[in-house]
Chain A
Amino acid sequence: MRRALTGGALIGFTNGFLGTFIILRRMSLMADALSHSMLPGLAIGLWFFGLSAGGLFFGGIVAAFFVALGAMLLARGSRLKEDASLAILYTVAFSIGVVLLQFVPTRVDLKHYLFGNILGLGDTDLWIAYGVALVVVPGLLLLLRPLLLALFDPSVAQSQGVNVNAIQLALVAASVLAMISSAQAVGVILMLGLLVTPAATLYLLTDDFGKMLWGGGILGCAGSIVGLLISFRFDQIPSGAAIVLVLGVCFVLAWIFGPRYGLVARLRKSRHFHEESLLRWGRGSSGGH
């Protein structure tokens, strides 16, 4: 259980941290496609390497890489825009994955790959989580300035010598790594939630890039730990679903009660405005309090 919690915390932090970049670069759809395309990779990894984390890791990278590359080529070489090509590629890839998993010699439960099963988290998975966290987080921090410039204003960033295409590629690579590290715990369908929800929650709460970045990491980490504890307590709940649900509750709370951009704050703000106009124009006989 300690192993699962350590792994979950690491994976949650890495994904939550990366999420800020994914949201601000508007790559959520791209990340969604990548996550689904991991299924055939996992199946192929199973086929060749059996139930070893290294094999799954390898298969996931290869599959995601091909789908990302395929989408880019398809978008450049035809009339289709990138979103449509991604949609086609990843649903096809996902279907291939479902079919392949039926024929894999090792008997596996498809559900574990779709929604996560933290009990399957082995030592190698933990090492992968460590490795990915050590590559992704410091890597992003080293590239923070060019990333910030490219996210905010790609054209100006490019005019100042930031290679925006390379930055985009680095973000895709980081997403693939982060999502592979979460494949076992959260599953391919739900991994996008862990990647995007923490940073999206912070986005509703703060105007500060740094707070969004670190807050996303911390929320991802905390949400994973709480989700895992829930999944341990009620063992019929898959760990991925528990984690994403916890994060979802946080998001809804921020959406409703956020001090500046929340629903309640906005309703109260318009009422304030109404009162100002009442002050200016005088209160009618039927006027409120």
Chain B
Amino acid sequence: MHDHALNISDLTVSYHRIPALHHIAFEVHCGHSVALLGPNGAGKTTLLKTLAGLLRRESGKIHFHGREVRGATPDIAYLPQRGQIDWDFPTTVRGLVEMGRYLRLGWWRRYGAADAKAVDAAVATMNLEALQDRQISALSGGQQQRAFLARALAQEAHVLLLDEPFAGLDKPNQDILKDTLRKLRESGKLLLVSHHDLGTVREIFDRVVLLNGELIAAGPVAEAFTEPNIHKTYETKVFAGVDHGKPI
């Protein structure tokens, strides 16, 4: 089991020298879908961005498959919040998924038949065949998300980091996304998903990580997603190292 693990140890990340995450340590494995829970400002997005290699760590190590992750790696795909994307960008769904291959191919290696096949497969898995020639703004929110998941599949990423994917989706689209995430988990991907709705945690995820500036709990839903842990995560103030300017 060990070599399919994403292991995080002693992770501290700061903004302008004020820590947002304090000495986080946990381990999750491929084939699981993990909910990242915590109040606003708890460091969920910070953790995802750090794992994606977007933020500098102050301390700590990240290991995947037994190897240390130092910067960028195509094994880990980060799916940004919807608001960060320029949806008017001149590209089709297929063009977007092809970008996933560029990440594998590097700057100059030729885009070949194998790449086209991988793109076909990714598009098919996400049920986007009929939409692949559409410009990306002509998709619904749920379809846009699946297009980005397809890009991560084409990239052959093993770890998918999703930032609030359920935000702004209506019920039918939430159901589709739930289903999609289940399929991805069953195919052996590791999903790390920041999530707001505590009511749906049990039906979507099998692992949780509870964050509140520090790690409150991490583990299987049955063990870690308990009343006292939830209370501790949401009822206390976010630990930020300072309280009204005074060190705690």
Contacts and interface: CB of A to CB of B under 8 A. Distances in A.
B37 to A, nearest CB: 23
A289 B154 CA distance: 50
B92 A207 contact: yes
A159 B52 contact: yes
A143 interface: yes
A167 B206 CA distance: 40
B72 A158 contact: yes
A234 interface: no
A148 B96 CA distance: 10
A24 interface: yes
Interface in A131-185: 142-143, 145-146, 148-149, 151-153, 155-156, 158-161
A144 to B, nearest CB: 8
A151 to B, nearest CB: 7
A152 B86 contact: yes
Contacts of A151: 89
B234 interface: no
Contacts of A127: none
A152 B107 CA distance: 16
B142 interface: no
A251 B72 CA distance: 41
Contacts of B86: 24, 152
A156 B157 CA distance: 13
A153 B95 CA distance: 13
A207 B72 contact: no
Nearest to A206: B90
Contacts of B76: 159
A156 B135 contact: no
A188 interface: no
B241 interface: no
A212 B90 contact: yes
Nearest to A213: B90
A160 B72 contact: yes
A228 to B, nearest CB: 29
Contacts of B72: 158-161
A48 interface: no
Interface in B61-104: 71-74, 76-78, 80, 84-86, 89-92, 95-96, 99, 102-103
B108 A24 contact: no
Contact of A155 (B78, B91, B102): B78
Contact of B54 (A145, A159, A203): A159
B80 A153 contact: yes
A145 B107 contact: yes
Interface residues of A, number: 23
A208 interface: yes
A93 B74 CA distance: 44
B53 interface: yes
B90 A208 contact: yes
A110 B96 CA distance: 47
Given A142-B108, A143-B107, A159-B72, A207 B53 contact: no
A280 B77 CA distance: 45
Nearest to B151: A156
A160 B74 contact: yes
Interface in B143-171: none
A161 B106 CA distance: 10
B89 A149 contact: no
A146 B99 CA distance: 10
Nearest to A261: B88
Contacts of B77: 156
Interface in A191-231: 203, 206-209, 211-212
Contacts of B49: 155, 159
A148 B99 contact: yes
A206 B74 CA distance: 30
Contacts of B89: 24, 151-152, 209
A155 B54 contact: yes
A153 B99 CA distance: 11
B53 A145 contact: no
B131 to A, nearest CB: 13
14 contacts: A142-B108, A143-B107, A148-B102, A153-B80, A155-B84, A156-B77, A156-B80, A158-B54, A159-B49, A159-B52, A159-B54, A203-B90, A208-B95, A209-B95
Interface of A: 24, 142-143, 145-146, 148-149, 151-153, 155-156, 158-161, 203, 206-209, 211-212
Given A145-B106, A153-B85, A156-B80, 16 more contacts: A24-B90, A143-B107, A145-B102, A149-B103, A153-B84, A155-B49, A155-B84, A156-B52, A159-B76, A160-B74, A160-B103, A161-B72, A208-B95, A209-B89, A211-B90, A212-B90
Interface of B: 49, 52-54, 71-74, 76-78, 80, 84-86, 89-92, 95-96, 99, 102-103, 105-108, 135
Nearest 9 pairs of A and B residues by beta carbon = A161-B72, A159-B52, A207-B135, A145-B102, A160-B103, A159-B78, A159-B53, A209-B90, A160-B72
